[in-house]
Amino acid sequence: MSIGTETGTETLTITPLALQMVKEIQAERNLESYLLRVFVAGSGCSGVQYGLAFEEAMMEDDTVIKIDGLSMVVDAVSLPYVTGACIDFVDGPMGAGFRIDNPNAMPMGGSCSCGGGCSC
Protein backbone atom coordinates (compact mmCIF):
# COMPACT_ATOMS: atom_id res chain seq x y z
CA MET A 1 0.00 0.00 0.00
CA SER A 2 1.38 3.41 -0.88
CA ILE A 3 1.83 6.19 1.62
CA GLY A 4 -1.45 7.97 2.21
CA THR A 5 -3.81 5.75 0.30
CA GLU A 6 -6.96 7.81 0.06
CA THR A 7 -10.37 6.28 0.40
CA GLY A 8 -13.91 7.62 0.45
CA THR A 9 -16.48 8.15 3.14
CA GLU A 10 -17.78 4.58 2.74
CA THR A 11 -14.86 3.51 4.91
CA LEU A 12 -15.45 5.85 7.84
CA THR A 13 -17.96 8.63 8.44
CA ILE A 14 -18.24 11.43 10.96
CA THR A 15 -21.37 13.26 12.04
CA PRO A 16 -21.54 17.04 11.57
CA LEU A 17 -21.44 17.57 15.36
CA ALA A 18 -18.39 15.35 15.80
CA LEU A 19 -16.66 17.09 12.89
CA GLN A 20 -17.38 20.47 14.48
CA MET A 21 -16.04 19.29 17.86
CA VAL A 22 -12.83 17.89 16.32
CA LYS A 23 -12.23 21.17 14.50
CA GLU A 24 -12.90 23.15 17.70
CA ILE A 25 -10.40 21.02 19.64
CA GLN A 26 -7.85 21.43 16.86
CA ALA A 27 -8.30 25.22 16.93
CA GLU A 28 -8.17 25.46 20.75
CA ARG A 29 -4.94 23.44 20.87
CA ASN A 30 -3.41 24.95 17.71
CA LEU A 31 -3.46 21.54 15.95
CA GLU A 32 -5.12 22.54 12.68
CA SER A 33 -2.36 20.89 10.63
CA TYR A 34 -2.57 17.61 12.57
CA LEU A 35 -4.28 14.43 11.41
CA LEU A 36 -6.97 12.64 13.39
CA ARG A 37 -5.85 9.04 13.89
CA VAL A 38 -8.64 6.48 14.32
CA PHE A 39 -7.40 3.16 15.65
CA VAL A 40 -8.42 -0.09 17.30
CA ALA A 41 -7.18 -0.36 20.87
CA GLY A 42 -8.35 -3.92 21.56
CA SER A 43 -11.37 -6.17 21.66
CA GLY A 44 -13.43 -8.09 24.17
CA CYS A 45 -16.97 -9.13 25.01
CA SER A 46 -18.18 -5.55 24.66
CA GLY A 47 -16.77 -5.38 21.14
CA VAL A 48 -13.93 -3.53 19.50
CA GLN A 49 -12.44 -0.66 21.50
CA TYR A 50 -11.58 2.36 19.37
CA GLY A 51 -9.27 5.28 20.00
CA LEU A 52 -8.75 8.77 18.60
CA ALA A 53 -5.58 10.85 18.70
CA PHE A 54 -4.06 13.83 16.94
CA GLU A 55 -0.83 13.12 15.11
CA GLU A 56 1.54 15.35 13.22
CA ALA A 57 2.60 12.83 10.60
CA MET A 58 1.23 9.70 9.02
CA MET A 59 2.80 6.25 8.83
CA GLU A 60 3.67 4.37 5.66
CA ASP A 61 0.71 1.96 5.85
CA ASP A 62 -1.91 4.61 6.69
CA THR A 63 -5.08 5.14 4.73
CA VAL A 64 -6.25 8.75 4.55
CA ILE A 65 -9.93 9.67 4.72
CA LYS A 66 -10.76 13.31 4.00
CA ILE A 67 -14.11 14.73 5.02
CA ASP A 68 -14.95 18.45 4.91
CA GLY A 69 -11.38 19.62 5.49
CA LEU A 70 -10.56 17.02 8.15
CA SER A 71 -7.90 14.43 7.36
CA MET A 72 -8.29 11.18 9.27
CA VAL A 73 -5.75 8.35 9.11
CA VAL A 74 -6.20 4.67 9.86
CA ASP A 75 -3.39 2.10 10.03
CA ALA A 76 -3.58 -1.11 8.00
CA VAL A 77 -4.33 -3.31 11.04
CA SER A 78 -7.23 -1.09 12.23
CA LEU A 79 -8.74 -0.44 8.78
CA PRO A 80 -10.88 -3.62 8.55
CA TYR A 81 -12.30 -2.92 12.02
CA VAL A 82 -13.25 0.71 11.34
CA THR A 83 -14.77 0.13 7.91
CA GLY A 84 -18.43 1.09 8.15
CA ALA A 85 -17.96 2.97 11.43
CA CYS A 86 -19.37 6.39 12.26
CA ILE A 87 -17.72 8.83 14.66
CA ASP A 88 -20.25 10.80 16.70
CA PHE A 89 -20.12 13.24 19.59
CA VAL A 90 -22.60 12.65 22.41
CA ASP A 91 -23.45 14.89 25.32
CA GLY A 92 -25.72 13.32 27.90
CA PRO A 93 -26.22 12.56 31.59
CA MET A 94 -23.18 10.26 31.61
CA GLY A 95 -20.94 12.97 30.19
CA ALA A 96 -19.74 14.18 26.83
CA GLY A 97 -17.33 12.63 24.39
CA PHE A 98 -16.72 10.93 21.11
CA ARG A 99 -18.33 7.59 20.33
CA ILE A 100 -17.55 5.30 17.43
CA ASP A 101 -20.37 3.03 16.34
CA ASN A 102 -19.83 0.26 13.83
CA PRO A 103 -22.75 -2.00 12.91
CA ASN A 104 -20.28 -4.27 11.08
CA ALA A 105 -17.91 -4.72 14.02
CA MET A 106 -16.88 -8.13 15.24
CA PRO A 107 -14.27 -9.04 17.84
CA MET A 108 -10.70 -9.01 16.62
CA GLY A 109 -9.77 -12.52 15.55
CA GLY A 110 -13.45 -13.31 14.98
CA SER A 111 -14.24 -14.63 18.44
CA CYS A 112 -14.61 -13.46 22.01
CA SER A 113 -11.38 -13.00 23.88
CA CYS A 114 -12.63 -13.10 27.48
CA GLY A 115 -12.14 -16.82 27.93
CA GLY A 116 -15.61 -17.17 29.40
CA GLY A 117 -17.00 -19.38 26.66
CA CYS A 118 -19.56 -16.86 25.45
CA SER A 119 -20.41 -16.52 21.78
CA CYS A 120 -20.17 -12.82 21.08
We report the CATH number of the domain holding residue 18 as: 2.60.300.12
Residue type, 71: S
Q: Is residue 44 part of a domain?
A: yes
Q: Is residue 118 part of a domain?
A: no
Q: Give me the mean pLDDT over the 43-69 stretch.
A: 88
| 3-state secondary structure (DSSP) of residue 2 | coil
| Pairing relationship of beta strands 63-67 and 70-74 according to DSSP bridges | antiparallel
Confidence of residue 10 (pLDDT cuts 50, 70, 90): low
Q: Is residue 120 part of a domain?
A: no
User: What's the whole-number average pLDDT of the chain?
Assistant: 82
Give me the domain span that covers residue 94. 5-109
Q: Is residue 70 part of a domain?
A: yes
pLDDT attached to residue 45: 67
Q: Is pLDDT above 80 for 5?
A: no
Q: Is residue 98 part of a domain?
A: yes
What is the total count of domains within the chain? 1
Give every CB contact of residue 19 below 8 A, 6+ residues apart in sequence. Answer: 67, 68, 70
Q: Give me the mean pLDDT over the 54-62 stretch.
A: 94
Q: Is residue 119 part of a domain?
A: no
